[in-house]
Copies of this chain bind each other. A is one copy, B any other.
Amino acid sequence: MTARILDFETVDLRFPTSRELDGSDATNPAPDYSAAYLVLRTDHPRVPEGHGFTFTIGRGNELVVAAVEVVARRVRGMPVEEITADLGGFARHLAADSQLRWLGPDKGVLHLATAAVVNAVWDLAAKLADRPVWKLLADMAPDRIVDLVDWRYLRDELSPAAALDLLRRAEPGRAERERRVRESGYPAYTTSAGWLGYDDAKLRRRCRDAVAAGWDSVKLKVGADLDDDRRRCRIAREELGPHRRLMIDANQALGVAEAIRWHRGLAEHDVHWFEEPTSPDDVLGHAAIQRAIAPTRVATGEHAHNAVMFKQFLQAEAIGVCQLDACRLAGVNEAVAVLLLAAARGVPVCPHAGGVGLCELVQHLSIFDYVAVSGSMDGRVVEYVDHLHEHFADPVRLRGPRYLPPDAPGYSARILPESLRRFRFPDGPEWAGR
């Protein structure tokens, strides 16, 4: 009997995070962290469900859910093992509807929705293989990894042959690195200290708590008012001391010249990286900023919508830190493409996380990167935000400031039924009463 994807279910899931100003920044003053959540149902006797989602910040999540349904219809009826035997071909099939492509291509609502479907299929594939996604990836032969990627627009930067070569060079060390990451985890940094909506006292308290909890890298939101940011950076630096790392994040609030001026105003506080200084589409703008603020690194990627954008950020030497997002990109396949591009340039990947379940997903990507792609943790940290993990069946586990590799089969994407019920929008009890 051939097992098939029989059907699917979607949930418009929203958490009312704007009530506490958790997650507030210069561009997103009041987000309600949300997920367009997908369950693929199969008739496979051992793996009845695959779980995936994409992340949004509230209004419009219903549009993404509607788009997930459009994309998920393309997998209904497909044989599970045929998909999982050719995950590259599957992802290319999913992107190949020429009429839908007009709505992007490869960006916006439809690309976010594609991420949810691709991620759910990887969850299925990993469960079938009885291992976590990072381990499924890290056990693949180099040529199979290369085949996950859609190379059409990337070959001028990295050929499939060069990618294969890179993966083969990393192959002998895989077992040793897997042992090491299982033993001591993968480094993280925290954003929970410095949301823009926090007042000075709360900022100071959160920085102090972060130091006490062992964090050595802390990120602060900036970009609304330079004088405020000077004061907030001073407070953070006072609490962090001279040796811990302070990163700043303007969440796209600034123009190019303005961003350079902003950095100049804050540089005395020893800024490790400057994240999202300007429009996420502005490759040349980021390059100008990077030239002006070096050796501070420009970081971006949570809104870089596809591998073609990352290709250019790397080609233009516009970023020193590559912050791919597990849901903004079209799921695992496109994330693998970006890991390969970044490794070929020697640029560290420090994934965007937080939101709903992004920490749960990106840990798989970074651990795979360490074991089988870049082979390095130097300069690499995964973002950590201490929100909403309690809603996940397999939440991230940290030991001090380090992620421990997930053990459970799948992509750590399953949200608890009770959370789906309570936070379903607009009819769940957390919303219906308001």
Contact = CB atoms under 8 A, between A and B. Distances in A.
Contact of A98 (B30, B99, B105, B108): B30
Interface string A61-97: 0111011001000000000000000000000000001
Interface string A342-366: 0000000000000000000000000
A100 B101 CA distance: 21
Contact of A312 (B59, B255, B284): B284
Interface in A94-148: 97-112
Interface residues of A, number: 60
A252 interface: yes
A57 B102 contact: yes
A378 interface: no
A58 interface: yes
A256 interface: yes
Question: Does more than half of chain A's interface fall in helix, strand or loop, or is it mixed?
Answer: loop
B98 A29 contact: yes
Interface stretch (A149-157, A391-399, A400-408): A149-157
Interface string A276-313: 00111111110010000000000000010110110110
A153 B60 contact: no
A315 B28 CA distance: 29
Contacts of A103: 56, 60, 63-64, 108-109, 112
Contact of A281 (B255, B257, B308, B316): B308
A383 interface: no
Contact of A110 (B97, B108, B154, B282): B108
A31 interface: yes
A99 B308 CA distance: 25
A398 B323 CA distance: 51
25 contacts: A27-B101, A29-B98, A30-B99, A31-B98, A31-B99, A31-B102, A32-B99, A57-B99, A58-B99, A59-B70, A59-B100, A60-B67, A60-B99, A60-B103, A63-B67, A63-B103, A66-B66, A105-B280, A106-B281, A107-B281, A108-B108, A153-B279, A282-B308, A282-B311, A283-B283
